[in-house]
Amino acid sequence: MGTIYTNVKSLLQELEGKAKLLLATKERTVQEIQQAIEAGARIFGENYLQEAEEKIKQIGHSVEWHFIGSIQKRKIKKIVELFDVIESVDSIEVAKIIDKFSKEYGKIMPVLIEVNSGKEPQKSGVMPDDVLNVSKAIKELKNIRLVGLMTMGPNLPNPEDLRPYFRLTYELFEELKSLGLFDVDEPILSMGMSSSYKVAIEEGANLVRIGTLVFGERKKKVI
């Protein structure tokens, strides 16, 4: 078996009882994803609608597809149609559009609020101080249900430096949980990537988004 298969197997073993594994498959092929599925991976995250569409059509919904990229309003209808979970809701307006199209498709769409834990103006996500209000607004919508929080954190070379941002998101997560704002028995806290997942789990993550560690570095596109 190839490296992808081996990497997924060992990672699933390492994460068992701690966190679920989401494989970030941006720029990865259907063949690579199939190898990961054979090894037991069941949750896949895509950043770009256009790229994801063909993969989802070929692979189907025996696995779970999460949208983890920035949401463009004009693409929401198709995102709702194709994906099982949307992890990157960054405003009440976006939530309302998701709700509208979910109703059209006869779906109740599970969503996570993306928290801009680093309060970085250039990044998408809800500012920490606004998360409670956005959560309450989502609670009022009929065809969308809040199932968790997601954060990226700032782009820092040392994973240890991400700890305060993960901790902040965990504290918000616990607050929303105590207020009964999550519409699911086991809410999702999606934090940590290939370099930072261990720190994220220590800070409460129960879903980690991993790409490079399984698939290797993405090939640089030649223009």
Across 126-140, average pLDDT? 98
List, in order, residues 6 or more apart from 107 with CB less than 8 Å away.
80, 143
Share of the chain above pLDDT 90, in %: 96
What's the pLDDT band for 220 if we cut at 50, 70, 90? low
CA angle (210 as vertex; 208, 215 as ends), nearest 5: 160
What's the pLDDT band for 221 if we cut at 50, 70, 90? low
Instruction: Name the DSSP letter for residue 64.
Output: E
Q: What is the pLDDT of residues 33-73, one digit of tens each?
A: 999 999 999 999 999 999 999 999 999 999 999 999 999 99
Residues in the chain, total: 223
Position 28 scores a pLDDT of 96
Q: What is the pLDDT of residues 67-121, one digit of tens each?
A: 999 999 999 999 999 999 999 999 999 999 999 999 999 999 999 999 999 999 9
Asked if 166 contacts 203 with a C-beta cutoff of 8 angstroms, the reply is yes
- Superfamily of domain 3-215 in the CATH hierarchy: Alanine racemase (3.20.20.10)
Q: How far apart are CA 110 and CA 221, in angstroms?
A: 33
pLDDT for 214 beyond 50? yes
Q: How far apart are CA 62 and CA 37, in angstroms?
A: 10
pTM above 0.85, yes or no: yes
pLDDT for 218 beyond 60? yes
Of residues 219 and 191, more confidence is placed in 191
What's the pLDDT band for 151 if we cut at 50, 70, 90? very high
Position 80 scores a pLDDT of 99
Residue in this structure with the two tokens 């920035």, named with its chain if needed: 70
